[in-house]
């Protein structure tokens, strides 16, 4: 298994290079998995945490906001550990103890609001993908301000009035899905 330097990793994540992402998974996932299993999580938890860790890092890279001064191994480990600890602290009785522990866990530049935003968006996107494909496409085209005529052509729907009604229904269905999720939090 080849090792990767930080620059290659950052570029690979930014470009969503599948080969680099595969290598990152092969090299770093076992450590994350071991930590999560040791901390009473499951293999599925480990996969979820790893995925969110990479996505948070991607967001930071995209915003030009990453400060990778240590090895990537330490960085991703810290990010994933932080995510897992935050999840545990929501559920566990000894949340206070965990918070004390997390004082040492402060990660270089992932702020709590970035973590919270990622959690919210993950939930919204999960339910967005539950919508039928036509709904997904329709909402995205509307939000990208594509003219109604073009939307109608692209989706092969003649009536622009129908498109507007459909868009409304799709959005309301999405909001309903989201609000009925047990992990949804009112702000």
Q: What is the closest distance, in whole angstroms, from the C-beta atom of residue 97 to another protein in the complex? A: 7
Q: What is the closest distance, in whole angstroms, from the C-beta atom of residue 172 to another protein in the complex? A: 7
- Which residue matches tokens 């860790």? 53
Binding mask 54-93 for another protein (x = CB under 8 A): xx--xx--x-------xx-xxx-xx--x------------
Backbone angles phi, psi at 115, to 5 degrees: -65, -45
Using an 8 Å Cβ cutoff, are 4 and 49 in contact? Answer: no
Directed axis angle between helix 43-62 and helix 112-128, to 10°? 110
Using an 8 Å Cβ cutoff, are 100 and 37 in contact? Answer: no
Q: Which of 143, 149, 154, 160 binds another protein (CB under 8 A)?
A: 143
Residue 160 makes contact with another protein by CB under 8 A: no
How many residues touch another protein (CB under 8 A)?
60
Residue 107 makes contact with another protein by CB under 8 A: yes
Site for another protein in 5-44 (CB under 8 A): 16, 18, 21-22, 25-26, 29, 31, 34-35, 37-40
Cβ neighbours for 57, distance < 8 A, ≥ 6 positions apart = 13, 66, 75, 76, 79
Q: Round the CA-based radius of gyration of the chain to a whole number and report it.
A: 20
- Residues 75, 71: Cα–Cα separation, whole Å: 6
Nearer Cβ to another protein, position 22 or 149? Answer: 22
Q: Which of 4, 27, 95, 178 binds another protein (CB under 8 A)?
A: 178
Q: Taking the mean position of all CA atoms in its chain, how far away is CA 114?
A: 11
- Residues 154, 174: Cα–Cα separation, whole Å: 22
Which residues are near another protein by CB under 8 A? 16, 18, 21-22, 25-26, 29, 31, 34-35, 37-40, 47, 50-51, 54-55, 58-59, 62, 70-71, 73-75, 77-78, 81, 97-98, 101, 104-109, 120-121, 124-125, 128-129, 136, 139-140, 142-145, 168, 171-172, 174-175, 178, 186-187
């Amino acid at each position: 298994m080849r090792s990767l330097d930080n620059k290659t990793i950052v570029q690979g994540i930014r470009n969503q290079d599948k080969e680099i992402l595969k290598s990152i998974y092969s090299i770093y996932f076992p450590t994350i998995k071991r930590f999560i299993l040791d901390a009473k999580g499951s293999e599925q938890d480990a996969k979820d945490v790893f995925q969110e860790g990479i996505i948070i890092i991607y967001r930071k890279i995209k915003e030009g906001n990453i400060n990778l001064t240590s090895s990537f191994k330490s960085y991703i480990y810290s990010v994933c550990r932080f995510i897992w600890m935050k999840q545990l602290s929501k559920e566990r009785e000894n949340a206070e103890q965990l918070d004390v522990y997390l004082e040492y866990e402060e990660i270089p530049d992932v702020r709590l609001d970035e973590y919270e935003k990622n959690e919210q968006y993950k939930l919204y996107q999960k339910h967005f993908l539950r919508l039928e494909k036509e709904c997904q496409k329709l909402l995205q085209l509307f939000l990208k301000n594509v003219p109604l005529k073009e939307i109608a052509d692209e989706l092969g729907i003649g009536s622009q009035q129908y498109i507007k009604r459909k868009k409304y229904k799709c959005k309301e269905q999405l909001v309903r899905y989201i609000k009925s999720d047990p992990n949804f939090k009112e702000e």
